[in-house]
Amino acid sequence: MIEPFTVPFMGRALAELALLALICGPVSVLVFVRRLSFVSDALTHTVFPGVVIGFVSGGAEGLFAGALIAGVVTAVLLTVLTRGGALSDDASAAVVLAAMFSIGVVIVSRRSSYTSDLTSFLFGRILTVTPRQIAETAVLAVIILGVLLVGARALIFRAFDPAGAAAAGFRIVWLDLWLNVVVALVVVAAVRAVGTILVVALLIVPAAAARMITSRLAVMAVLGSGLVLLAGYGGLLLSWTASVDHGISLTSASAVVLILVLAYVLLPLGALRLRRHPSGSVRPERTSPHELVG
């Protein structure tokens, strides 16, 4: 079960996913309690043209810069637009996001390697991750975790009771910007490895799955990270076994997400079995499992 990971590209893929697991657990908890699945979804749509423009103009280096710029600009715009409920019209927002996405597709379709480029932007290239990319992800992980650690209390207060947090003197708009930028940085960190589509799964599923078995935020964060790590290991192993032993081509990133979603489905069943035994007054108070795909 460890042997495939002695192959360098498999080891690097696992290292990259482990770093993403570390940040996606805690960040997904905040995305969950703030109900920011819409923002995460929006970011994946707007980061896509950024990724494409960056790649077309500056290759692999430009890709990172393009994603970063697009992500941060989107985070700022979303904070400003959602302030005071200006962005209440879901339909018009969705039109803008679809347009951004189309711009990305149009630009990438002008290239000769259209299909493979598009696939890699959408679903990532986890198996070709370079040591340099891992280092960049590590730096982003440290920044994200640091920023999150400082802001966690205020961000949770704001998520639970915005009026109370404002009355206590917290500036809500800055806290919103803070979290939106954090989510944007996670998208940027994860986009090369798992692609723009699947990064939504990493931001939403870990906390939603962990919530099924615990109602403690810190435990949710740790469990969420553990789940992504397990899914990363299992997904890589699955795609390796499928292609090496059975000749089936299974993209690694989608295998990772499939396992993550499987955990989301199976965890409540396991939790249900536990609760059959008479104890406490734990209620399966599930908030919306969140719309996974936009």
Partner 1 sequence: MADATLGFSGVSVGYHGSPVLTDIELNVHAGQRLTLVGPNGAGKSTLIRSVLGLVPVLHGSATVLGRPPAQARSVTGYVPQTGSLDAAFPVSARQVVMMGRYRRIGWWRPARAADRAAVREALERVGLADKAQRQFGVLSGGQRQRVLLARAIAAEPRLLLLDEPFNGVDAVSQEAILRVLHDLSAAGTTVVLSTHDLAVAREFSDLVCLLNGRQWALGTPAEALTASALRRAYGGHAVDVDDGRTVLVEP
Interface ranges with partner 1 (CB under 8 A): 33, 150-151, 153-154, 156-157, 159-161, 163-170, 211, 214-217, 220, 281, 283, 285-287
Q: Minimum Å distance from CB 168 to partner 1?
A: 5
Q: Rounded to the nearest whole angstrom, what is the least distance from the CB of residue 24 to partner 1 in the complex?
A: 18
Nearer to partner 1, 175 or 257 (CB): 175
Please report how close the Cβ of residue 243 comes to partner 1 at its closest, in angstroms: 40
Q: How far is the CB of 88 from partner 1 (least distance, A)?
A: 16
Cα R_g (the chain), whole angstroms: 19
Q: Least distance to partner 1 from the beta carbon of 154, Å?
A: 7
Considering beta carbons, is residue 97 or 203 the nearer one to partner 1?
Answer: 203
Closest CB to partner 1 among 132 and 216?
Answer: 216
Nearer to partner 1, 132 or 153 (CB): 153
Task: Compute the least distance from the CB of residue 288 to partner 1, in Å.
Answer: 10
Nearer to partner 1, 135 or 218 (CB): 218
Cβ-based nearer residue to partner 1, 63 or 208? 208
